[in-house]
Every structure is written in structure tokens, then in C-alpha cells.
Amino acid sequence: MPDRPRLVIASGNAGKLREYRDLLSAAGVELIAFDSEVDEVGESYTDNARLKAESALAKSGLPSLGDDSGLEVEALGGFPGIRSARLGPTQTERTAELLQRLDGVPRPWTARFVCVIALAVPGRDARFFEGECRGEVVPEWQGEAGFGYDPIFLVTGTGKTFGEMPPEEKRKYSHRAAAARALLESGALSKLSASIDKRGR
Ligand code: IMP
């Protein structure tokens, strides 16, 4: 469909990209993956999401979506939070590091996933959309679906980890799905289509 507006997804994370392709499939936009390789130097999810979106916009000239997310464990004061991607060189080591820090801490290890989406559009201030998912971290890996910390995150009220959920089930509960819903409901993506129509493309 040549008339669909293009939207850059500023991420090199294959798991996130797969989820955005699914979550935004009905948005009427053509998604382009582009890793702007921004250092996550911000002090909040919002700062980092903005850095990713604005860097992708600057490099591509196209409307761009940046996302920052993390897992916050209550007993660790919200750690690893915005440092979730940097606990170790591989996800297996990151998961092991988190579980090691929780060793000896009484359960349940109440936690939440948070996702902030930044939408950067030429000539406008960035807009932000947030979602969360509540649950608890469990000590044993359960399931192999998803990515990141999915196999050790038990979702409240489901009896399952994200690792045990197929994509269509994860999207009912996930922090990223909630943020994407807020983005869709804001109408911001429909405005991208409208502005293309006005330019007569
Ligand atoms: P960032 O948003 O690129 O900084 O990465 C956040 C990190 O949090 C990822 O590397 C994952 O390990 C983790 N994370 C974020 N969202 C999810 C999710 O939906 N499932 C599992 N892990 C996630």
C-alpha cells in the first residue's frame, strides 16, 4: 500500500519489533525498523524514549517511535528499572544477575513492567504514552515464549509467566500493549495519515 504513512520504530531489539508489528498492525502505517543506537543516558524511561525517537527522526526525517521499558522489583526499590537492559552482556546473564540479587529476599517478589513510548513528529513536541503490567518475579524459568525477562515474570491473575503465553495472550496484559493502546487511542497516528492526504500523496 504505497499511500500509508511511514513510521520508524527506533529499536534494534527483535522481541520489541515483533511486538510492535503486531500491536500497530491495524494503525494504517508502514513500520520501518531502524536502530539509531542511542546510548540510554537518560534518567527516566521518558528521557530515554525521547532520545531514541528524536534521534531516529533526526536521522530519517520520518515520524519516529522510541520505546524504553524495564522491570521494577519492589523489594529492590524498583531495580533494575531503566537499567534492565544493562544488567549483563546477555539476557541469560541479566536474568541470572537479577535472581542472584533476590536470593534470600522473602517472596513474593512483587514487580511491574513499565513501557513508555515517545512519538516524535517533524515540527512538533514529542508525545508520550505509558503502560504497565503488574506481577511477580519467580525463581525458576517458566516457558520459552517472548523475550527478555518474560520466563521469570508471573502475570497477576493469570497463573502464567509471559514466557508461557503466546503473543496474542501476552498482548492482553503487557505494558507495551497498554502503551501502544494509549498511542492508538490518542489519534496521533491517524493524524499522520491525514497530513499525508492533505499533501495529496
Ligand atoms: P530497553 O527498553 O531497550 O532499555 O530494554 C529494556 C529491557 O527490559 C530489555 O532488554 C528486556 O530485558 C526488558 N524488557 C522490556 N520489556 C520486556 C518484555 O516485554 N518482556 C521481557 N523483558 C522486557
- The alpha carbon of 147 is separated from its chain's Cα centroid by a whole number of angstroms, namely 11
Q: What would the pLDDT profile of 46-100 be if each residue is shown by its tens digit?
A: 999 999 999 999 999 999 999 999 999 999 999 999 999 999 999 999 999 999 9
Decide if pLDDT at 125 tops 70.
Answer: yes
Give kind and range of the element (H or E) at residue 45. Answer: helix 45-60
Query: Can you give the pLDDT at residue 200?
Result: 42
- Which ligand 1 atom is the nearest neighbour of the CA of 162? 20
Q: Is ligand 1 within 6 A of the CB of residue 74?
A: no
CA distance 98 to 93: 9
Terminal Cα distance for the chain, rounded: 12
Query: Can you give the pLDDT at residue 194?
Result: 63
**Phi, psi angles (nearest 5°) of residue 49:** -65, -40
- The alpha carbon of 95 is separated from its chain's Cα centroid by a whole number of angstroms, namely 18
Q: Is ligand 1 within 6 A of the CB of residue 13?
A: yes
| 170 and 148 Cβ atoms separated by less than 8 Å | no
- The residue with greater pLDDT, 145 or 4, is 145
Pocket mutation for ligand 1, best pick of 39, 84, 93, 161 (most atoms within 8 Å of C-beta)? 84
Q: Whose CA is nearest to atom 16 of ligand 1?
A: 69
Record the pTM.
0.93
Strand-pair partners of 131: 115
CA distance 71 to 10: 20
Catalytic residue among 35, 67, 68, 125: 68
Pocket mutation for ligand 1, best pick of 23, 46, 69, 144 (most atoms within 8 Å of C-beta)? 69
CA distance 85 to 48: 12
30-33/6-10 β-pairing: parallel
Q: Is ligand 1 within 6 A of the CB of residue 79?
A: no
For residue 47, give the nearest of 101, 168, 108, 128 by alpha carbon. 128
- Which ligand 1 atom is the nearest neighbour of the CA of 11? 3
**Phi, psi angles (nearest 5°) of residue 35:** -90, 105
DSSP for 118-133, please give it: EEE-TTS--EEEEEEE
Which ranges constitute the DSSP H helices of 61-199? Answer: 91-102, 167-173, 175-186, 188-198
Average pLDDT, the chain: 93
Categorize the per-residue pLDDT at 191 as very low, low, confident or very high, splitting at 50, 70 and 90: confident
Q: Using N-to-C axis directions, what is the helix angle for 14-23 and 175-186, rounded to 10°?
A: 40
> What's the fold here for domain 6-200?
Maf protein (3.90.950)
